[in-house]
Amino acid sequence: MEEGLITIYVEDASGARQSIEIPTDIQLSLMEVLKASEYPIQATCGGMALCATCHVEVLEGNEKYKEATEPELEMLDTLPEVMLTSRLACQMAVQEDMDGLVVRILASEDGGYGY
């Protein structure tokens, strides 16, 4: 990890990974970083955990990011397909210990699943 930067990886449906380098002091959510990096993520509610259109699966990384909070679980329960490591990217504030995190985007711009 370069000082002041972390790298998060986004895995697509084929298993290929693309990296995003993020300053550790950015004070954004993962959802905001993914949108700014032009990934196909709707985030209809603007980060309020009310729509689940920023649904991601945490594949690798810090264990604490693999467990959703209670408000996330309530929203995730409304989705047709949820994994044990499902999260709402809007509820994941970018932090230094996210370095090396690997996620797969499950909700996409067209409302479907499987980036």
39 in a structural domain:
yes
111 in a structural domain:
no
Q: List all residues 6 or more positions away from 64 whose beta carbon is below 8 Å from its beta carbon.
A: 97
Closest CA to 87 of 100, 68, 103, 101: 68
Please give the residue range of the domain that contains residue 60: 5-105
Question: One digit per residue, pLDDT tens: the chain, 115 residues?
Answer: 568 999 999 999 899 999 999 998 999 999 999 999 999 888 899 899 999 999 999 999 988 898 898 989 999 999 998 999 999 999 999 999 999 999 999 975 444 444 4
Could you please report the per-residue DSSP string of 22-81? EETT---BHHHHHHHTT-S---TTSSSSSS-TTEEEEEES-GGGGS--HHHHHHHTTSS-
59 touches 84 (CB < 8 A): no
Token pair recorded at residue 1: 């990890």
Exposed, middle or buried: residue 37 (CB in 10 Å: 0-12, 13-18, 19+)? middle
112 in a structural domain:
no
40 in a structural domain:
yes
What is the pLDDT at residue 13?
Answer: 86
What is the pLDDT at residue 62?
Answer: 87
Q: How many domains does the chain have?
A: 1
The CATH number assigned to the domain holding 62 equals: 3.10.20.30
What is the pLDDT at residue 111?
Answer: 46
